[in-house]
A and B are shown apart, each in its own frame.
Chain A
Amino acid sequence: MTRRERQNLGTGLLFISPWLIGFLALCVYPALSSLYYSLCDYSVLAPAVFTGAQNYRDLMNDALFWKALYNTLYFAFFSIPLGLLVSLSLAVLLNFDVPGRGFFRVVFFLPSLVPMVCLAVIWQWMLNGDLGLINNALKPVLHALNSIVGTHFSPPNWLLEARYAKWGIIFTGLWSVGNAVVIYLAGLQEVPRHLYESAEIDGANFWSKTRHITLPILSPVIYFNTIMGLIGSLQVFAVPYIMTNGNDGPGRSLLFLATYLYQNAFDYWNMGYACTLGVILFFVILVLTYLARKLSEKHVYYAAK
């Protein structure tokens, strides 16, 4: 290493030192101690006692853990594709040459700025069984359906019925897809126009242009957003926690991994077990991200640069 290189290394490290210290103290150290505590009986109030794999064995026999895992995967499985569908559709609509595009863009973006607590409070009210706006809009629709088909549908009491509670959370999430809409719209506007023009000469219609030009070019952005959505939805906590007034919903239908982790850590002071859940949560994220990556290798198109 020359003198110049050594000097640069020193200066470089000095500049990144705020991050480096934070990385060691607030990331590496907590991650490693989480791993260690996951093998301990630990309550913060008393020193940790090493118990080997006991927490992991307990976890395997813990019905609540399996319930939380199921709920979390269920939520991710429906909310990610639905979020993708809604945000992509809105972005495609915004990309049409129609009046008021700027206005609509703001309208779709605004809900994503709403703080999580307000989001939960507003939607708790929206989804209220008798008085909520959602059910009052559904009632005439279901009534018409019932009188035509002869069925007996009535709108559910979303957050108070175990079967529907998670759907209440999923709908709440769909309201705040605005971030993704803005990202997709930016991606759409970078699609080179000549591609569409040559496709039009070949007689392509809107759907075939979307299918063969827009989606392939947008696929890296879709992939990025899906990974972000995956990481986010697997840690879902605040909205269901607030909507249930700090609980986990009817029949624990809103007990998610992060909820169960929080309960163990701060309701039961069972910190070791909470760390075990954290380690599992991390591995769930890792495995699913890896699968998404494998899947993307076939379908994501990167333009040669």
Chain B
Amino acid sequence: MTAGRQSKALRIVAFTLLIIFGIAFLAPFAWMVSTSLKPLNETMSLPPRWIPSVVQWHNYRDAINAMGYFWRYTANTFFICVMSVIGTVLSSALAAYGFSRIEWKGRDRLFLVLLATMMIPFPVVMVPIYSLFKNLGWIGTFRPLWVPAFFASAFNVFLLRQFFLSLPKDISESARMDGCSELQIFLRIILPLSKPALLVVALFQFMFSWNDFLGPLIFLTEQKDFTLALGLQSFQSQNGGTAWHHLMAASTLVVLPVLVLFFFAQRTFIEGIATTGGKN
């Protein structure tokens, strides 16, 4: 629905502005891809040229080789992403069920505590968490990056609880009459009905793990264990200010999977994000 009746002149102005902003928002992507395909000397031509005189696809191969462990980084990142997604979907769904479909004393007060924890920024608790993992001997392993996902994230519990609350109470009641345990209701009735919400949580967690920079920066020590994000940063700090064509090729390769994921799951993304802000 749009904002009531709109005069034709106003709509033309709006459309023009959308085109201008649209170009401005697309320009960095276009610039990245254009640079990634240029010969090195053309990245320095003034005024800048959009279309390279020769399209150098081998920049991508060269960038992958120059990064050293590119495929390792990719495998590491996928491992961490997949483990985190499994962990957070399972644990957050369990917790959200406990916070929504069972009545118990103190439940809603504890839920407020959960919401309050979202206010605590990671840098504030980063040092004790680091020393905790250090004592466990986990520094330099992937564990600090995925094990915490098995202990539910407040944000994901919040999202799933909203969804579980929207399912009618009767379905649980009649299942209880039939002698189902809570675990059976959770697994056989609630989870299958909640696929769209679980998908949103999985997607958000995947994105979070894929994008995470600070976690890998402090917990990973060996170059070959880096994630793509950290690997790209280390590549950039070695090459910063020189091989822009390789840097842009590498950066395109790290962005691309996320964009592909978006085009497959566009609705899930947009609706998921719209609900995070709307229901407050």
Residues of A within 8 A of B (CB): 1, 5, 8-9, 11-19, 21-23, 25-27, 29-31, 33-34, 37, 44, 90, 92-100, 104-111, 113-118, 120-126, 130-131, 133, 136, 175, 179-180, 182-191, 193, 196-197, 199-200, 206, 209-210, 214, 220-221, 224-225, 231, 234-235, 237-238, 242, 245-246, 257-258, 261-262, 265-266, 271, 274-275, 278-279, 281-282, 285-286, 289
**B22 near A104: Cβ-Cβ < 8 Å:** yes
Q: Is the interface of A mostly helix, strand, loop or mixed?
A: helix
Interface residues of B in 1-46 (CB under 8 A from A): 1-7, 10-11, 14-15, 17-18, 21-22, 25-29, 31-32, 35, 43-44, 46
Lowest 7 CB-CB distances: which A-B pairs, in order?
A22-B151, A15-B98, A196-B4, A183-B277, A186-B274, A12-B104, A30-B125
Residues of B within 8 A of A (CB): 1-7, 10-11, 14-15, 17-18, 21-22, 25-29, 31-32, 35, 43-44, 46-48, 90-92, 94-95, 97-99, 102-107, 110, 113-114, 117, 119-132, 134, 148, 150-152, 154, 157, 182, 186, 207, 210-211, 213-214, 218, 228-230, 232-233, 236-237, 240, 244, 247-248, 251, 254-255, 258-259, 262, 266, 269-270, 273-278, 280
| Contacts A110-B262, A242-B213; A16 near B127 (Cβ below 8 A) | no
Q: Is the interface of B mostly helix, strand, loop or mixed?
A: helix
Q: Can you name 8 A-B residue pairings with CB atoms under 8 Å?
A: A22-B151, A111-B29, A115-B228, A133-B48, A245-B236, A265-B218, A271-B131, A282-B120
**A274 near B127: Cβ-Cβ < 8 Å:** yes
What is the chain A residue whose CB lies nearest that of B106?
Answer: A9
**B120 near A31: Cβ-Cβ < 8 Å:** yes
| Contacts A19-B95, A23-B114, A98-B11; A5 near B6 (Cβ below 8 A) | no
A15 to B186, CA, bound (A): 10
List the B side residues contacting A187 at CB < 8 Å: 277-278
